[in-house]
Copies of this chain bind each other. A is one copy, B any other.
Amino acid sequence: MIVALALLLVAVVNAQLPQPCQTPPQWQGKFIRRDESKNFTQYADISYDLVNRRVREVEYVEEGTDRDYEDVLYLHNINKEYRINLKLKNCTVSALTRPFIHFGLPPDAKYMGTANIGPVNFPDEHATVILFEGEDKQEGTFYYGEVTTPDCVPVNTGFFTNRTGYVHTSFFDITGGIPDPSVFIPPTGCTPK
């Protein structure tokens, strides 16, 4: 009886542990991505629409002394990618060059803890985040994720491989939903790549 109760308790506690989660299906916001090993920094505005499988990223990239500005629309619903080079002021259209990237955490990610950013007893000045870690042994990748709870909006994510070192991404100014749907209108005058 005691063993059964103990097992039940373990089951209940496990059931209460936060589970790996998926971010809201639609949101717009910004991120900064940094890869120390390559002296690579990317600032981007992102619009993410899992419902219609569309992503738009307006990016400013610094890699060493190179500077690049690109505005890319990934339309997975029609297998097309529009890419405007904002420096060269040209636009190309092609088949997609990357798979659809799901946000959120792999189902086997391990819950590491819960923490509060900002003062917990000051209203409107804190957010509760949950931390996950995991390993893709086949790829030799270690990854981590820090997302808000309960809605799983990304705050910090990253991964480590021996080849890349740490690649860290911080998200901010996220708005749930698609406040500006015009971002998904394909640009005109794009030539095939």
Chain A residues engaging chain B, CB cutoff 8 angstroms: 24, 27, 30, 115-122, 124-129, 148-151, 153, 155, 172-177
Contact = CB atoms under 8 A, between A and B. Distances in A.
A132 to B, nearest CB: 16
Nearest to A176: B119
Contacts of A125: 127-128, 148-151, 153
Given A126-B127, A127-B126, A148-B125, A117 B155 contact: yes
A122 B119 CA distance: 18
A176 B121 contact: yes
Given A117-B127, A127-B127, A122 B153 contact: yes
Highest count of chain B CB atoms <10 Å: which of A24, A115, A127: A127
A123 B24 CA distance: 15
Contacts of A116: 172-174
Nearest to A174: B119
A147 to B, nearest CB: 9
A120 to B, nearest CB: 6
A86 to B, nearest CB: 21
Given A126-B148, A127-B126, A120 B155 contact: no
B27 A119 contact: yes
Nearest to A173: B116
A145 to B, nearest CB: 14
Q: Which of A30, A124, A150 has the most CB of B within 10 A?
A: A124
Contacts of A129: 118
A148 B148 CA distance: 16
A13 to B, nearest CB: 21
